[in-house]
Structure 1
Amino acid sequence: MDLPASKTTVNVRIIDTARIFVPNIFVDTPIKADYAGRELRELDFGGDNTVKIGGFDALDYFGDGSFYILDGAGHTVGHLCALATTTTSPQSYILMGADACHHSGEMRPSKWHPLPSEIQPHPLQPELSLPCPGSLFEHLLPDGNKTLPFYRIKRPGMQLSDVDIADRTLVKLQEADAESNVFVVIAHDSHLRNVIEVFPKSANDFMAKDWHHKSRWSFLSDFKSAIQKEEEQ
């Protein structure tokens, strides 16, 4: 969809430095046609208007507390996340993590959300009313530690602008995920389709519909074959 009247909003670093993401492959990154003829708004997280949202440097985009742009660097130079206020009484927020995390297993479990002893809805058999034993997944965790994510960013080899910064951004997502009134969503989480309602329906009442709790461990369905192999042995 082409929206010629729209603004292009980027981190102040992206225009000059994006080319280092994958040198000699995306030689024309960023493509000037992507922002030519549009108002280009470059965000500077080093200025006086920067505030802290959890661990993130943030900018109040509209100046009214409704929408914040977050510095989510690491995946690429200038990678951005966002936080939208969904309700004010009670306060609730949706944090859009974009590509800061590619699979929820990079973010969960954590010290804030350890792997629970019982998981509901059942990630392997969602039609069941009974909870799923968390112990089914413990052998897949690093050293069986229920406070560490299933996945870690690969070193070396990942095509990230800065792996250390990407790791720190992941921790910031985990901290936000620990808040009961924050719904953390990431770009590639296909499991959300089974829980949330999509545009043009509203997401403002996610807390009342309990989307953040219902979807938190749904990614564990990806490990179904590993669980079956373990049971067969």
Structure 2
Amino acid sequence: MTPAAAVHTLFPGFPPIAPGHVHRWGGAAIAVARRSGLHREPLLSPAERRVVRALSARRQAEWAAGRLLAKQVVREFLSVRADEVEVLPRADGSPGVLVGGGPVPGLHVSISHTAGHVAAALAPEPVGVDLCATDSAAAVLRVAGHVLSPAEVSLIGTDRPDALAGAWALKEAAVKADRSGIFGAAARGVEILGLRPPVLGGRRRAMVWQAGDAVLALVLAQPAAPPRLP
């Protein structure tokens, strides 16, 4: 039996995640929703609206949907009022959480989109979340050499769109948690040791779900231990 055939036989698919609810996993809070089902409540703050207006028309709806869902997760995670929460770009462009106009120390946020879905995650440790549509499997194969090692390709196989989407989502969620980029050495440095359940190398914990026509990955990257004093 070839590795791909073995994956097709043995890989049972990812567990589903219910959209529209805030779920807890490993100390993190995560939610996924259909973009068409997100209501603009709570409304974006004046600062968030200024960011939206500076974006292209194509990006405006995507950016707003991600922040609206992230704000929903923050409200439930911290038990604060809707009008207290903002999700604004930090100096490096990644999203940051503010409550009452000030940053929340030790709280990390990550946001991801596909054409039909949006996801957001919060955690007290570095976190990355990524959505990959299962119909993107062919595109994943085309760039597999940039992000997957031969051993990972053998493990994942090439005949399961959900497995390929899951592998890509895991890699991208991991480099988001690490605050690095998906292409180049960073993604190859994230080793996939298992897919269901997901197991990654390094100080990382991961989970993968099926979210409609997309696969959703959550990665928690524990901060490096401080150096010991001599």
Q: Verify same fold: TM over 0.5.
A: no
* Structure with greater strand percent: 2
| Bigger Rg over Cα | 1
* Structure with greater helix percent: 2
